[in-house]
C-alpha cells in the first residue's frame, strides 16, 4: 500500500512543495504539489529524484567513531562521549578560539541548521567561525550591512511584476535561483518576456538563461563592478537619476557622482570588453523602464570587487527609484522575522571587529574567510593558538573552499574533528566522530532563511514524511547533544538547549516596548507554546512573535504553529510590499549610500581600469542536476551533460592545440588538475570553465557511485590568497590559469 505525504524540497533555494509517494518507509516518487501556495506544482529533475537522494544506500546509518586510526560504527552514546572527551580538553588547554566551527550550505536547507549552530557558536565562545557564506554571498551581506545597517536586509527582484530585469552573474535556468527564492524561476522569466518586459543577462558564458535574454553581454570575468559604476556614471551625467519616493530616506546622494566620476563608459569599456555605447544603452534602458530590477549573484560576488559590485547593484536600483517599490527590488517580510521595530536609527553595521590570526583578515558578520581555514589550522603564530579541534556541520570544504589539498592535510593534523554529515566524504573522512543526520524524508522542514529572500511572502511547514527509522536521531537532537557535549554540559537533556533559547528570546521580547508581549510573564508565554518537539516549539514562538503572529493571543487571527499545521499547503501572505524606512538599522536611520569602507575601496576599483589578464581566466558553472559537492553519488542525477569537463572556446582550443575530449592540464596558483576538454562557443574567448564540487577520488570515503566518475577539484587551482578584502569572500571566478598542452604533458 502506498500513501502520499507533503514535503518542502530542500535541494535548492526554490523551496518547491512536493507530494511524495511512500511505500512502507521508502520514498518511491515525488511530484510537484499543485496546491502549494507558493510553488503551485513546479518541480525540477532534482526534486523529482527526491526518493533517490533520500534513499541513497551510501548514506550513513549510525555514528562513526575513530579508534586506532580507523572509523568504526558506534552508538550515539559512544559518539557524544567521544566528543565531550575530544573538545573540552582543547578548550581548557588552548582557549575557545582553538575550536573552529565550519558551517556548510545545507544548514540553510534544514530546520536544525537554522536553529542550533548559533547556539553552538555562542556556547563555545569561539571566533574561529567559517561558513559557506565566504565562498558565496558574503559581499551582499556586507553591502546590505553598510547600506541598510542590516546584513540580512537583502532586496529581492520582484520577478512577477518587473518590466525590466538586469541579471548579472546568475544562471537560474540551472541553479533555480539564489538570494531570490522563486519556484519556477524559468517560467517567471518567460512570463516577464510574455508581458512585454525585457531581460538582459551579463555572463561570460552563453548560458541557458542568456539564451532566453533579449540581450546577452559576455563580459570579461571579474569586471562587473566597473560596468555597474559606469552605468551609475551615465545616470548622473545624463540627468537620469530619479530616486522618487526614496529620496527622504537617502543619505549621501550628493557624494555619489564624484565617487563614480572616473568610471566613464569609455574608461571601463576595454577592461570589461563591453562597448561604451552598450553601457550607455543599459543605463538609459534601466532608467526608462516603468519598473526595473538589477539582480546580481555568484558571478558578481565571488570576484575581487564582489562587495563593490553588490553595492552598485543596489545603488542602481536606488538611483532609478526601483528599490522598495513593486516591480523593482523589495525587502521580503517573513513570518519568522523578528517583531518589526518602529523605524528609526539603529546600531549600524561594523566590519573588522576582530581579525584572523595568520593573515589578519577582518571578520565580517562574525565570520572569518573560509579561504583562511587551512592556514588557521596549519600555521602557528605568536598571536595565539592554531585551531586544534574542528566541528563541521554540513560542510565539505575540502571540495568547496580554495586549496583543498592543503585543507585536506590540515584536517588530517587536527587533534579532534567532528562532522555532522550523512556521507563519509572528502571532508568527513578526517573526523574522529561522524554524526549522520536522517535523510530529508525523516526530517521536518521550514525555510527560515529562504522565506526572507522569497519573491512572495508565504509560510509553509512540513512535518517528517516518514517516521524516524530505529537507531536514527533527529538532526535537531544531534545538534543539541553536540552543543551540550562541546560546551561542558555533556549528558544533560537536549531539551535544555531549546528551553534556554525560548527563555532568552521571550525574556527579551517582554522587555521590548514594540513587542506584542511587552510586559508579560515569559514563563506564562513559554507554557502556551505548542508543538511535538523543541524545534516545533521554537517555530511556534517565532511565528507568534513575528510580523504576522498572534502575539500570544493579542491578535487572535494571527499565525501560530497550530494554524500553520492546519494549512498543509502553506499560507500565502501576499506580494512583496514597500517597507522603507522600517527595515533600516543604520546609525543615521537612512540608506547610507556611500559608506566609508566602500569609499575607501574605490581606489582599488580605479586600479582595475588598467588591468587586463595576460592569459586565460577560469569561471565556474552549475548543472541543473547538481548540487555543490554532494549529489554526484545519485545515479539519476549524474551522466549526460552533467560532467566535469573544461569548457574552452574554439578559438582558444585551436590556438592552443586542444581537441575536444582530450585531457588538458590546468595550472593555477594553488596547484593543477587534468580534465577533458569540451570545446564550445558557450564560453567567451579567453575564458575556460570548470564546475565545482568534483574530485571524489580520495581514499577512505564511501561514495560508491561518485567515485566511479570522480572529476577533479577545481578549487585546487586556487591558493586561498585571492579575496574580496571587504567581505573576505573567496575569488572563485576570473582566476588566472594556464593550460599545459602536448609535449609539456
Ligand atoms: N570553484 C567554486 N567553488 C565553490 C562554488 C563555486 O561556484 N565555484 N560555490 C560555492 C558555494 S555558493 C557554496 S554554497 C559552497 C557549498 O559548499 P559546502 O558548504 O561544502 O556545501 P555542499 O557541498 O552543498 O554540502 C556540504 C555537506 O553537507 C552534507 N549534507 C547534505 N545534506 C545534509 C543535511 O541534511 N544535514 C547535514 N548535516 N549535512 C548534509 C553533504 O554530504 C556535504 O558533505 O561551495 C562553494 N564553492
Ligand atoms: N543545479 C544546481 N543548483 C544550485 C546549486 C548547484 O550546485 N546546482 N548551488 C546552489 C547554490 S549554493 C548557489 S549559491 C546558487 C548560485 O546560483 P547562481 O548564481 O545562479 O549560480 P551559477 O549557475 O553558478 O551562475 C553564476 C553565473 O555567473 C557567471 N559568471 C562567472 N564569472 C562572472 C563574472 O565575473 N561576471 C558575470 N557577470 N558573470 C560571471 C557564470 O558563468 C555562471 O553562469 O545555486 C544554487 N542552486
Ligand atoms: S527547483 Fe529546487 S526546490 Fe524545486 S524541485 Fe527542484 S531542487 Fe527542489
Ligand atoms: Mo551557495
Q: Could you tell me the distance, in angstroms and rounded to a whole number, from the CA of residue 133 to the centre of ligand 4?
A: 7
Within-domain flag for 574: no
Q: Is the pLDDT of residue 625 over 70?
A: yes
DSSP class per residue in 575-609: E----TTTT--STTSSEESS-HHHHHHHHHHHHHT
Going by pLDDT thresholds of 50, 70 and 90, the confidence category of residue 745 is: very low
CB atoms < 10 A from the CB of 142, how many? 27
Predicted pLDDT at 613: 85
> Residue of the nearest CA to atom 17 in ligand 1?
400
Q: Could you tell me the distance, in angstroms and rounded to a whole number, from the CA of residue 167 to the centre of ligand 2?
A: 11
Secondary structure of 412-461 as H, E, C letters: HCCCEEEEECCCCCCCHHHCCEEECCCCHHHCCECCCCHHHHECEEEECC
Within-domain flag for 453: no
Q: Closest Cα partner for 621 from 646, 639, 640, 638? A: 646
Question: Do 738 and 706 share a domain, yes or no?
Answer: yes
Domain count, the chain: 5
Q: For 660-671, what is each residue's pLDDT tens digit?
A: 999 999 999 999
Q: Could you tell me the distance, in angstroms and rounded to a whole number, from the CA of residue 622 to the centre of ligand 2?
A: 6
Within-domain flag for 178: yes
Question: Do 153 and 300 share a domain, yes or no?
Answer: yes
Within-domain flag for 247: yes
DSSP class per residue in 489-554: -TTS-THHHHHHHHHHHHHHHTT-TTSTTTT--HHHHHHH---SSHHHHHHHHHHHHSTTB-GGGT
Q: For 198-235, what is each residue's pLDDT tens digit?
A: 999 999 999 999 999 999 999 999 999 999 999 999 99
Q: Ligand 1, from 306, 446, 630: best to mutate by most atoms within 8 Å of Cβ?
A: 630
What is the Cα–Cα distance from 250 to 81, expressed in whole angstroms? 55
Question: Do 324 and 181 share a domain, yes or no?
Answer: yes
**CB of 399 sitting under 6 A from ligand 2:** no
Q: Could you tell me the distance, in angstroms and rounded to a whole number, from the CA of residue 460 to the centre of ligand 3?
A: 15
Q: What is the CATH number of the domain that holds 40?
A: 3.30.200.210
Ligand nearest to the CA of 734: 2
Question: Do 732 and 600 share a domain, yes or no?
Answer: no
What is the Cα–Cα distance from 139 to 311, expressed in whole angstroms? 8
List, in order, residues 6 or more apart from 298 with CB less than 8 Å away.
Answer: 136, 169, 170, 175, 178, 620, 732, 733
Within-domain flag for 419: yes
What integer is the mean pLDDT of 162-182? 98
Q: For 378-391, what is each residue's pLDDT tens digit?
A: 999 988 889 999 99
Q: What is the CATH number of the domain that holds 705?
A: 2.40.40.20
Q: Is the pLDDT of residue 301 over 60?
A: yes
Ligand nearest to the CA of 33: 3
Question: Do 250 and 295 share a domain, yes or no?
Answer: yes
Return mean pLDDT, the chain: 97
Q: What is the CATH number of the domain that holds 209?
A: 3.40.228.10
Q: For 519-541, what is each residue's pLDDT tens digit?
A: 999 999 999 999 999 999 999 99
Residue 701 Cα to chain centre, angstroms: 26
Question: Do 306 and 364 share a domain, yes or no?
Answer: no
> Is residue 189 within 8 Å of 172, Cβ to Cβ?
yes
Predicted pLDDT at 383: 81
Question: Do 466 and 599 share a domain, yes or no?
Answer: no
**CB of 286 sitting under 6 A from ligand 3:** no
Q: For 408-466, what is each residue's pLDDT tens digit?
A: 999 999 999 999 999 999 999 999 999 999 999 999 999 999 999 999 999 999 999 99
Which ligand 2 atom sits closest to the C-alpha of 222? 35
Q: Is the pLDDT of residue 356 over 50?
A: yes
What integer is the mean pLDDT of 109-120? 98
Predicted pLDDT at 384: 85
What is the Cα–Cα distance from 540 to 564, expressed in whole angstroms? 9
**CB of 9 sitting under 6 A from ligand 3:** yes
Within-domain flag for 522: yes
List, in order, residues 6 or more apart from 654 with CB less than 8 Å away.
Answer: none
**CB of 598 sitting under 6 A from ligand 1:** no
Q: Is the pLDDT of residue 195 over 80?
A: yes
Within-domain flag for 344: no
What integer is the mean pLDDT of 659-686? 97
Question: Do 502 and 414 share a domain, yes or no?
Answer: no
Domain interval for residue 355: 61-126+349-445+461-488
Single out the residue in 54, 78, 93 at which a domain terminates: 54
Question: Do 280 and 298 share a domain, yes or no?
Answer: yes
Q: Is the peptide bond before 581 cis (omega within 30 degrees of 0)?
A: yes
Q: What is the CATH number of the domain that holds 355?
A: 3.40.50.740
**CB of 273 sitting under 6 A from ligand 2:** no
Question: Do 319 and 199 share a domain, yes or no?
Answer: yes
Q: Rounded to 10 degrees, what is the CA torsion of 551, 553, 558, 564?
A: 100
Question: Do 147 and 280 share a domain, yes or no?
Answer: yes
Question: Do 89 and 166 share a domain, yes or no?
Answer: no
Cα–Cα distances in Å, from 50 out to 7, 27, 47, 545? Answer: 10, 8, 5, 33
Within-domain flag for 207: yes
Going by pLDDT thresholds of 50, 70 and 90, the confidence category of residue 1 is: confident
> Residue of the nearest CA to atom 2 in ligand 3?
12
Q: Is the pLDDT of residue 23 over 90?
A: yes
**CB of 734 sitting under 6 A from ligand 2:** yes
Predicted pLDDT at 742: 60
Amino acid at each position: 500500500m502506498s500513501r502520499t505525504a507533503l514535503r518542502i524540497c530542500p535541494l535548492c533555494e526554490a523551496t518547491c512543495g512536493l507530494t511524495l509517494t511512500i511505500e512502507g518507509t521508502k520514498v518511491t516518487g515525488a511530484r510537484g504539489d499543485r496546491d502549494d501556495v507558493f510553488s503551485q506544482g513546479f518541480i525540477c529533475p532534482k526534486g523529482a529524484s527526491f526518493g533517490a537522494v533520500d534513499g541513497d544506500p551510501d548514506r550513513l546509518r549510525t555514528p562513526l567513531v575513530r579508534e586506532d586510526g580507523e572509523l568504526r560504527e558506534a552508538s550515539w552514546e559512544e559518539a557524544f562521549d567521544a566528543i565531550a572527551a575530544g573538545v573540552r580538553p582543547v578548550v581548557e588547554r588552548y582557549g575557545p578560539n582553538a575550536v573552529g566551527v565550519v558551517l556548510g550550505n545545507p544548514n540553510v536547507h534544514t530546520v536544525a541548521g537554522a536553529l542550533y549552530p548559533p547556539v553552538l557558536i555562542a556556547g563555545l565562545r569561539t571566533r574561529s567561525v567559517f561558513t559557506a557564506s565566504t565562498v558565496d554571498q558574503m559581499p551582499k551581506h556586507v553591502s546590505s550591512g553598510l547600506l541598510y545597517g542590516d546584513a540580512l536586509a537583502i532586496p529581492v527582484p520582484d520577478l512577477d511584476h518587473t518590466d525590466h530585469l538586469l541579471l548579472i552573474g546568475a544562471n537560474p535556468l540551472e541553479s533555480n535561483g539564489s538570494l531570490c527564492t522563486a519556484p519556477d524561476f524559468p517560467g517567471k522569466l518567460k512570463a516577464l518576456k510574455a508581458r512585454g518586459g525585457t531581460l538582459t543577462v551579463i555572463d561570460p558564458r552563453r548560458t541557458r538563461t542568456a539564451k532566453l535574454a533579449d540581450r546577452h553581454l559576455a563580459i570579461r570575468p571579474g569586471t562587473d563592478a566597473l560596468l555597474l559604476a559606469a552605468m551609475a556614471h551615465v545616470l548622473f551625467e545624463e540627468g537620469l537619476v530619479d530616486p522618487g519616493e526614496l529620496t527622504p530616506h537617502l543619505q549621501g546622494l550628493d557624494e555619489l557622482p564624484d565617487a563614480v566620476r572616473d568610471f566613464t563608459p569609455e574608461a571601463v569599456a576595454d577592461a570589461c570588453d563591453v562597448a561604451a555605447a552598450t553601457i550607455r544603452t543599459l543605463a538609459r534602458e534601466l532608467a526608462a523602464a516603468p519598473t526595473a530590477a538589477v539582480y546580481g549573484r555568484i558571478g558578481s560576488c565571488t570576484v575581487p570587487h564582489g562587495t563593490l559590485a553588490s553595492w552598485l547593484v543596489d545603488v542602481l536600483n536606488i538611483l532609478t527609484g526601483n528599490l522598495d517599490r513593486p516591480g523593482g527590488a523589495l525587502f521580503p517580510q517573513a513570518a519568522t522575522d523578528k517583531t518589526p521595530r518602529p523605524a528609526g536609527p539603529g546600531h549600524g553595521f561594523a566590519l573588522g571587529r576582530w581579525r584572523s590570526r595568520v593573515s589578519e583578515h577582518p571578520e565580517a558578520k562574525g565570520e572569518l574567510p573560509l579561504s583562511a581555514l587551512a592556514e588557521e589550522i596549519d600555521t602557528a603564530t605568536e598571536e595565539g593558538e592554531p585551531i586544534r579541534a574542528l566541528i563541521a556541520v554540513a560542510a565539505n570544504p575540502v571540495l568547496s573552499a580554495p586549496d583543498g589539498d592543503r585543507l585536506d592535510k590540515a584536517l588530517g593534523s587536527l587533534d579532534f574533528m567532528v562532522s555532522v554529515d550523512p556521507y563519509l566524504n572528502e571532508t568527513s573522512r578526517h573526523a574522529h566522530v561522524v554524526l549522520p543526520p536522517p535523510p530529508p524524508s525523516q526530517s521536518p522542514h521550514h525555510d527560515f532563511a529562504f522565506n526572507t529572500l522569497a519573491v512572495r511572502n508565504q509560510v509553509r511547514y512540513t512535518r517528517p514524511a516518514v517516521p524516524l527509522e530505529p537507531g536514527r536521531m533527529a538532526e535537531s537532537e544531534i545538534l543539541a547533544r553536540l552543543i551540550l557535549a562541546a560546551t561542558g554540559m555533556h549528558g544533560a537533556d537536549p531539551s535544555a538547549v531549546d528551553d534556554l533559547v525560548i527563555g532568552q528570546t521571550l525574556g527579551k521580547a517582554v522587555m521590548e516596548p514594540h513587542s506584542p508581549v511587552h510586559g508579560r510573564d515569559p514563563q506564562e508565554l513559554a507554557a502556551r507554546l505548542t508543538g511535538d518537539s523543541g524545534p516545533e516549539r521554537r517555530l511556534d514562538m517565532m511565528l507568534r512573535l513575528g510580523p504576522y503572529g498572534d502575539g500570544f493571543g493579542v491578535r487572535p487571527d494571527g499565525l501560530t504553529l497550530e494554524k500553520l499545521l492546519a494549512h498543509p499547503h502553506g499560507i500565502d501572505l501576499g506580494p512583496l510590499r514597500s517597507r522603507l524606512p522600517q527595515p533600516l538599522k543604520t546609525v543615521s536611520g537612512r540608506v547610507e549610500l556611500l559608506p566609508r569602507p566602500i569609499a575607501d575601496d574605490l581606489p582599488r576599483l580605479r586600479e582595475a581600469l588598467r588591468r587586463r589578464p595576460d592569459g586565460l581566466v577560469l569561471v565556474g558553472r552549475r548543472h541543473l542536476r547538481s548540487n555543490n559537492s554532494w549529489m554526484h553519488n545519485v545515479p539519476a542525477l549524474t551522466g549526460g551533460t552533467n560532467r566535469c569537463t573544461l569548457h574552452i572556446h574554439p578559438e582558444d582550443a585551436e590556438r592552443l592545440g586542444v581537441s575536444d575530449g582530450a585531457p588538458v592540464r590546468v595550472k593555477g596558483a594553488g596547484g593543477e588538475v587534468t580534465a577533458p576538454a569540451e570545446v564550445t562557443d558557450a564560453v567567451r574567448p579567453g575564458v575556460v570553465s570548470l564546475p565545482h564540487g568534483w574530485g571524489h577520488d580520495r581514499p577512505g570515503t564511501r561514495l560508491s557511485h561518485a567515485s566511479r566518475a570522480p572529476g577533479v577539484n577545481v578549487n585546487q587551482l586556487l591558493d586561498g590568497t585571492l579575496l574580496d578584502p571587504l567581505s573576505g569572500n573567496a575569488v572563485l571566478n576570473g582566476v588566472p590559469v594556464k593550460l599545459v598542452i602536448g609535449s609539456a604533458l
